[in-house]
Chains A and B, each alone.
Chain A
Amino acid sequence: MTTATKGGAGTAHTRVEGRDKVTGAARYAGEIPFADLAHGWLVLSTVARGRVRALDAEAVLAMPGVLTVLHHGNAPRVDTGFTGMMGVPPDPSTGLFQHDRVPHMGWPVALVVAETSEQAREAAEALVVHYEREPHDVAFSARRESEAYPLDGHVPAVMEKGDLEAELAASAVVVDAEYTTPEEHHNPMEPHAAAARWEGGRLEVVDSNQGTGWVAGELAHLFSLDPASVRVRSEHVGGGFGSKGTRAHQVAAVMAATVLQRPVRVVLTRRQMFSLAGHRSPTAQRVRLGADANGRLRALEHRSLNQTSTVHDFVEPSAAASRSMYAADAHHTASRLVKLDVPTPTWMRAPGEAPGSFALESALDELAERCGVDPIDLRIRNEPAVGPVSGLPFGGRNLVACFREGARRFGWAGRDPRPGLRREGRWLLGTGMAAASFPVMAMPSTASVTAETDGTFTVRINAADIGTGARTALTLVAADALEVPADRVRVRIGDSDLGPAMIAGGSAGTRSWGWAVTEAAEELRRSLAPGADIPPEGVTVRSDTSRALGALAQKERHSFGAQFAEVAVDPATGEVRVRRMLGIFAAGRIVNPLTARSQLVGGMAWGISMALHEEAVRDRASGGLYGADLAGYHVAAHADVPHIEADWVDDRDPDDPVGIKGIGEVGIVGAAAAVANAVWHATGVRHRDLPIRPDRVLLAGADA
């Protein structure tokens, strides 16, 4: 395929910056050169709880090239008492070197700055830090529920409708099962990196993040600066997945640049990312389903527990994901958290929905088995007409269409539901399915579109392309609105000076930005008289979607999908191999089928990884992670990812000017459950704890 530049939204386009990326011309934050650049290296705590008693900085300052050692005794003060753009307080690790307390293993305790990266690293590793150790507690399990508390995040923690116990008691069939997912880490290929410098009285930061306005705003708060005096740029980003907001490395770089009055870059190592980049909390979930004999739900209860740090509340709203899925007379959902001496969890691709759907969609499969109803039929029988808890109308719910199209293409019809019957050599074969959903959101954004004298157009919007193809999608959206070929449109993104806009997150980036770009571009097109002269400075139209979004009617707005998997299981060795996957999604209008398919397939591949491989093991004695690198933390390798097909049904959102819903996260939702359900169909054994490791399959097989 060549780089297509004709045709707008709905036709496949390679990334507009693809050539720069594959030739190395695209520069990432850790490799952009600066004159007189100094290098900072973070020193992380080696105890899980306690205080820093002393640091032997003098010895390190005498080492070659070392410029300074920043720590709680000498670092500039920062102000963490604010609520950031995403409506939550900053991550506690941005309150860098403000006190001597160590709340978890891997807490930053010092920054060593030197002339070269190698000198900084050697000195940082030589720095002796004396701690006053305190006993720590990192033992997460379902048994901690008695200490847990509910916390409203972006959604309420607890929602209850109807008399749960009465409906359960009246149910012909009850499924009551506990599920667990482990601590998981999003480790984008590109590590977190930032360079900071003061230039003409302004703080300039070159970073790798999911929203430059977000990071600039938080840095302005932290350092008590006029927001206009902070500029953050992030042109190319090698993956984010929720991990790239404001974190310790940017704050460290700004502190050092301020103290030394020269540019300073700080890059996290892979191991440091495992404690400083956030993670998905482990979850312990309990699902109780009560149904009449033909599978209609009378009761749905979903309770979830997650861990957070002692210095920050973060809720992984796994139970909330159930609120929009199935109708039930009694409907109770609650997400709670327990404080432990661990790093603070954060958003990780499909926060809530990814682990929540594993529990709910596994439980649905168990209910289908118990009722003797096909898993797809069971879900269709429980399709809600309106939001099961909210009572609000759906802003498009094409889930059944996904089931039907998926079943047709996967070859679901005629499937023998009995488990453990299909064998091919040493492999037992099985198929499974699950539903997927993810909220559809948009956040106010501003954009400008300029008609240039040469007949081209420049779009300026502070979007972030974290590898998704957002820059290309916005090029197509603008071209459509301007009614010009895409090769006449240039899109400038990733610069906080471009003005306020949504971050790349919540599957809401392209919807939020596309809305703003369309508004400005359409107004520009209407205002340009045909054949009129364009003045040298061009003609510019600006947009702000705040008002339009405020006027949106309240609805249950979600993307949906149906996931199908076929697996092979060797009961003698416990090996599980996914043989094929199919995902059919109803996720709004698809702007660029090429990159959209990559997004969805990537999510599904991650779902395989979640089902079979990913697991961060926290060592109870040290409080740290065991094997905190990509050799120890297994993600699916190529050989684990079979042919994955992702496609979609027509699902244009009439409330969005482009018809977009959002595709960033729905691809991972339900994927792990589809795999786990297929493992049951292959073996007859339910795996309610992820990942489905060989030892678990082997031992479960021995008991079966």
Chain B
Amino acid sequence: MREFGYQRAYDVSGAVALLDGDREARFLGGGTNLVDLMKTGVERPARLVDVTELPLNRVEETADGGLRIGATVTNSDLAAHPEIRRRYPALTQAVLAGASGQLRNMATVGGNLLQRTRCGYFTDVNSPCNKRVPGSGCPAIEGEHHNHAVLGASDHCVATHPSDMGVALAAFDARVSYETAAGPGELPLTDLYLPVGETPHLETALPPGALITGVTLPATATAAHSRYRKVRERASYAFAIGSVAAALDVRDGHVHDVRLAFGAVASRPWRARTAERVLTGAPADAGNFAAAADAELTAARPLPHNGYKVTLMRNLVVAVLSELAEEAAR
């Protein structure tokens, strides 16, 4: 493990100033991913700027009836927040589906969004990996990829984004706010992650040195009727092999509004806008749910060993939307 410097920031501008755009420095949140990567040599920062003491640990009402979640709110606190549970239940479910109680007590919202892929080639410094060492190759394509991406991947990288929380946030049109030395900025969460293309090492659209300060959830009545379902290779303490965040508003048997996002299938939380378009206005039945999933998944480009994900996602969409529709009908 490389020796590194450690500083703690107490306000947002101080944190940005301490980091000072230094490419060898990293913001440290709960450390549940960064510290692991430092131990294995995947990350070798010269300096850490600890942001866990920043005054960003609250969930607050916004003027338009949404919620603003501070970047240092822990996963545990986010999941337990009464307004999150009441207005965005899929977000609580997604957070609780991730990691363990101990990790959720440490992990922060900002860190969750910026966590790195768990691709086993990425986390093994002896392996080639275009994300870790640009141009070194992607062994997953010819090798082990049964839990790799089927949507939005490229010949250069097929890694998935591991976040559960991000999938629910993507479904709810969350916006990410950040601070730079030049001032604050904001962008939709679905635009936070760059397309993989030929540059899988370039992961986010954040300006250099930017600090995520929070996530804003707009008011959406549909979100109150939402669900997150995660499928994984053991019942707990594993990353998804496929997950769905869904919200559904059915009126007179027809889909009035639907939000749908997929996890573990792409390099970012995958907002399923094609499926949403197909469904909106259509009768809320299993056949249409399946047709919508199929429409979204026509873009899938599975590899030899991850084609099951296409079936899995289709089945998950049908199962989760059917449950939501049945509950709405009661």
Chain A residues at the B interface, C-beta cutoff of 8 Å = 46, 118, 121-122, 125, 271, 426, 572-575, 577, 612-613, 617, 619-622, 624, 626-629, 631-632, 634, 636-640, 693-695, 698-699, 702
Contacts and interface: CB of A to CB of B under 8 A. Distances in A.
B241 to A, nearest CB: 6
A585 to B, nearest CB: 26
A613 B232 CA distance: 10
A702 B142 CA distance: 25
Nearest to B147: A695
Contacts of B121: 626
Contacts of A639: 234-237
A621 B143 contact: yes
Interface in B13-67: 40-41
Contacts of A634: 233-234, 238
B1 interface: yes
Interface residues of B, number: 35
A118 B232 CA distance: 35
Given A617-B120, A634-B238, 5 more contacts: A573-B231, A628-B120, A637-B237, A695-B312, A702-B311
A698 B235 contact: no
Contact of B315 (A573, A620, A638): A573
A632 B119 CA distance: 9
B191 interface: no
Given A122-B1, A626-B143, A694-B312, A637 B235 contact: yes
B234 A122 contact: no
Interface string B233-250: 111111001100000000
Nearest to A696: B308
A593 B315 CA distance: 46
B192 interface: no
27 contacts: A122-B2, A271-B40, A572-B318, A573-B242, A575-B231, A575-B235, A577-B235, A612-B234, A613-B233, A613-B234, A619-B144, A620-B143, A621-B142, A624-B126, A624-B127, A626-B120, A626-B124, A637-B236, A637-B237, A637-B238, A640-B235, A694-B232, A694-B241, A695-B306, A695-B308, A698-B312, A699-B311
A128 to B, nearest CB: 13
Nearest to B239: A631
A271 B40 CA distance: 9
Contacts of A699: 308, 311
A536 B133 CA distance: 71
B126 A46 contact: yes
A70 B227 CA distance: 57
B170 to A, nearest CB: 21
A638 B144 CA distance: 27
Contacts, number: 97
B257 to A, nearest CB: 25
Contacts of A693: 233
B107 interface: no
A640 B236 CA distance: 7
Contacts of B311: 698-699, 702
Given A695-B146, A695-B308, A637 B120 contact: no
A694 B231 contact: yes
B204 interface: no
B3 A627 contact: no
A53 B240 CA distance: 43
Given A631-B118, A694-B312, A638 B142 contact: no
Which of B1, B120, B318 has most A Cβ within 10 Å? Answer: B120
Nearest to A618: B144
B144 A572 contact: no
B57 to A, nearest CB: 27
A574 B312 contact: yes
B160 to A, nearest CB: 13
Contact of A638 (B2, B3, B118, B236): B236
A7 B200 CA distance: 66
Given A121-B1, A637-B235, A702-B311, A695 B241 contact: yes
A629 B238 CA distance: 13
Nearest to B307: A699
A626 B144 contact: yes
Interface string B132-165: 0000000100111010000000000000000000
B114 interface: no
B233 A694 contact: yes
B300 interface: no
A694 B238 CA distance: 13
B234 A637 contact: yes
Contact of A627 (B123, B232, B237): B123
A112 to B, nearest CB: 14
Contacts of B146: 695
Contacts of B237: 637, 639
Contacts of A426: 319
